[in-house]
Amino acid sequence: MKRWTLWVPLVIFLAVVALAAWRLTATGEAVVKSALVGKPLPEFSLPAMVDGKPGLSRGDLARGKPRLLNVFASWCVPCIAEAPQLLKLKAAGVEIDAVAIKDSPEAVKAFLSRHGDPYARIGDDRDRIVQIGIGSSGVPETFVIDGQGRIAAQHIGDIRAEDVPELLKALEAAE
């Protein structure tokens, strides 16, 4: 009888590990979506992250024309992967602003030099206050902002070539 009591903690531990592994690998709606989709952006004002680029505020995103708001970081590998798609969107006439998360001006400048710079403005959000305030849970994430400063759509994860038409359609619908 005592031999079985030694196995009970191990069995429970293995069950918890199996459950965690199953949830981490499950597909579907396992991402955290912003509760602000369809609602106005909160008020914020971020200082400039790099010289030569203005910072970012809510007012910059409510100027009558839809635009993208990209949440990124220089240390984010998927942000590197999406850089070519952001440059394609910029070449197509899309205005893109950014919130840089937990980063330094030197690292962001090097990132932009290495991977291209699609951004009109980059706000410095070292403490993730704006990121959390808009309902972003990671990097990269991209939001379609309508001309009145409301979040019209959210794209979680890196932008891939197949996502570009969807984002362009969302921008068009946000006008």
- pLDDT digits over 77-93, tens only? 999 999 999 999 999 99
Question: Which residue ranges in the chain fall short of pLDDT 50?
Answer: 29-30
Cα–Cα distance list, 70 to 30, 33, 49, 98 (Å): 21, 15, 14, 5
Q: Which residue segments constitute the domains of the chain, with CATH numbers given? A: 32-173 (3.40.30.10)
* pLDDT value at residue 85: 97
- Average predicted confidence (pLDDT) for the chain: 90
β-strand partners of 57: 45
- pLDDT digits over 104-114, tens only? 999 999 999 99
pTM of the model: 0.82
* pLDDT value at residue 31: 58
